[in-house]
Structure 1
């Protein structure tokens, strides 16, 4: 076994599994204590402020809040392991897992489409600007690109969403303002969730590409009259993938969190909108289950991106080993 772990890939995968499990355990603990940190008595909130003491006690017993905290945590932990997240506190006959299964595809779809659009557009845009401004050419383009992306980054996602609705749905009537009844309903929410990350990642790609395009191997490729498309696809893009994948992992996690705002703005029937509704209703059981799911998705996405990064750039295997 030690000889196997001395190899880069087994050691790397074992480390990632350990980090994954540790992060999930921390997430389980945080989502459990979240309910107990809510001001006031959760049983009183669920039963209603006009409920009698007997009704409050009955509600506390139904929710399991009358048991010792450690017993509550153990039951919650076992439930998570068995994918049993309990029932909604407001609607006792509704299972949290059923709500998540019904709403998760909507959130996952806009997040995955958004990250795909972000990576493709950012690579193309950053490379284009870097190529056109190479050697201090077209300084107006470099300045304009920096100003436009910085301005877009300063806008909150809900402002971007509102602008898109006003322009494309209200004024021009080209796209639906909300809901998920047709394929065109995906356009505005995915655009809103991707604009900020595109600006951030394309700025990074532009900086990295400016360095890559001045490397000796790129000068050699230009000297051999290799086509621009081949120069970029074969030599520039592979050297940009490491930094792009690293940033895309962070952006995907932010997108999953940003879906909460985007889904509310566009009345999108995903987990983001549902968690807002559950918080307003004080449905702490549903809130806890959704936050646990969103956090687990973000952790999983980052582990997958780390593995893809290791496949693209094996040097990260040795770097990770050196850090440990």
Structure 2
């Protein structure tokens, strides 16, 4: 805050944004900056999605109506959808529709894009959430166990085997994992269905295909962080006090790896939301991802733009929520890293 003496000495007066930020708490300032970043990122995504789909060659109306549709019908549909207008005017119309909450109408189906997303995106979010839960529940014990084996100085072969297996799983693409799981559990063992959604048996394979790579990657992060914690002075102090091993792990070690785990976990959850596009296509799941693939194939501009916008917002919202959680769990480090 600028004092009278500072003004008399010629000290510069802070601008009004600086004065405003000086009056609010660091936590509120951090949250406001994160929300502002989300809004700017979302605007960039909207503009990028709009211009990229317009660069795709071909006529979306002709693709939707078919090659045998009369030219008069094609032109009437183009006028109805506003695709006969210049691209800048189409952008203005699209942004105005977004402000009203209108994502447009699908060229292919004639249905509202918003209604289609509302009916399909919950399935996508459910798949991503289940994949994240499985990845977290598997990564924590695997990573902590691998760290304990490595830290003990014994079981070098076991540690190398675990690290090698995790590295292999991380390197395998999701669609290869999906095909492999279908081959083993559906075609060979015939114990799980290869496609579908809605029943518990249908959920197992797509969730595993989505979660295995994330689980392996997160387990490696947990392993590295756990080794650092086990080598720290406060763990040595706890051992010197002859605390039970279980107490040292659960009360002193585990809380100190939560911050790094949450940070990486948030990025992983964002990746899982995006990864559902491939998984839904392979397993014939009626989610937003399969609709996006279909829209790209038919050059359905409004559907592509709406789906990309919702996916981007989901990823950005997940990152924002993780930042706010970290702000609550470890405010000093989170604010310092900004």
The TM-score range, normalised by the shorter chain, is: over 0.9
Q: Are 1:96 and 2:113 an aligned pair?
A: yes
**Candidates 70, 76, 97, aligned match of 1:79:** 97
The Cα shift of 1:109 comes to 0.6
Query: For 2:21 and 2:112, how far apart are their aligned partners in 1?
Result: 47
The Cα shift of 1:291 comes to 1.4
The Cα shift of 1:170 comes to 2.2
The Cα shift of 1:86 comes to 1.2
The Cα shift of 1:229 comes to 2.5
Alignment check: 8 A CA contact 2:27 2:331 kept: no
The Cα shift of 1:316 comes to 3.3
Query: For 2:177 and 2:334, how far apart are their aligned partners in 1?
Result: 39
The Cα shift of 1:267 comes to 1.0
| 1:125-149 Cα deviation digits (max 9, x unpaired) | 1111111221422111221111111
SS in 1 for 2:272: helix
The Cα shift of 1:40 comes to 3.0
The Cα shift of 1:83 comes to 2.4
Larger Rg: 2
The Cα shift of 1:70 comes to 2.8
Query: For 1:246 and 1:305, how far apart are their aligned partners in 2?
Result: 7
The Cα shift of 1:38 comes to 0.9
The Cα shift of 1:11 comes to 0.5
Matching of residues 205-284 of structure 1 within 5 Å:
205-284=222-301
Q: Are 1:37 and 2:55 an aligned pair?
A: yes
| 1:269-292 Cα deviation digits (max 9, x unpaired) | 111111112222332221221111
Query: For 1:214 and 1:9, how far apart are their aligned partners in 2?
Result: 31
Query: For 1:5 and 1:203, how far apart are their aligned partners in 2?
Result: 42
Q: Are 1:19 and 2:37 an aligned pair?
A: yes
2:16 corresponds to: none
The Cα shift of 1:62 comes to 1.8
Relative to 1, partners in 2 of residues 1:10 and 1:105: Cα closer, same or farther, differing over 3 Å?
same
Q: Are 1:68 and 2:86 an aligned pair?
A: yes
Alignment check: 8 A CA contact 1:85 1:96 kept: yes
Q: TM-score, normalised by structure 1?
A: 0.92
Query: For 1:155 and 1:182, how far apart are their aligned partners in 2?
Result: 27
Query: For 2:122 and 2:151, how far apart are their aligned partners in 1?
Result: 43
The Cα shift of 1:162 comes to 1.3
2:4 corresponds to: none
Between the two proteins, the alignment pairs up a number of residues equal to 320
SS in 1 for 2:151: coil
Alignment check: 8 A CA contact 1:47 1:59 kept: no
1:183 corresponds to: 200
**Candidates 111, 115, 130, aligned match of 1:113:** 130
The Cα shift of 1:51 comes to 4.5
Alignment check: 8 A CA contact 1:4 1:10 kept: no
Alignment check: 8 A CA contact 1:263 1:269 kept: yes
Alignment check: 8 A CA contact 1:205 1:244 kept: yes
The Cα shift of 1:72 comes to 1.6
Q: Which runs of 5+ in 1 are unaligned?
A: none
Query: For 1:49 and 1:248, how far apart are their aligned partners in 2?
Result: 47
Query: For 1:304 and 1:318, how far apart are their aligned partners in 2?
Result: 15
Alignment check: 8 A CA contact 1:32 1:73 kept: yes
Q: Are 1:174 and 2:191 an aligned pair?
A: yes
Alignment check: 8 A CA contact 1:126 1:204 kept: yes
Q: Are 1:131 and 2:148 an aligned pair?
A: yes
**Candidates 141, 144, 153, aligned match of 2:158:** 141
Q: TM-score, normalised by structure 2?
A: 0.89
Q: CA RMSD in A?
A: 1.8
The Cα shift of 1:218 comes to 0.8
The Cα shift of 1:4 comes to 6.2
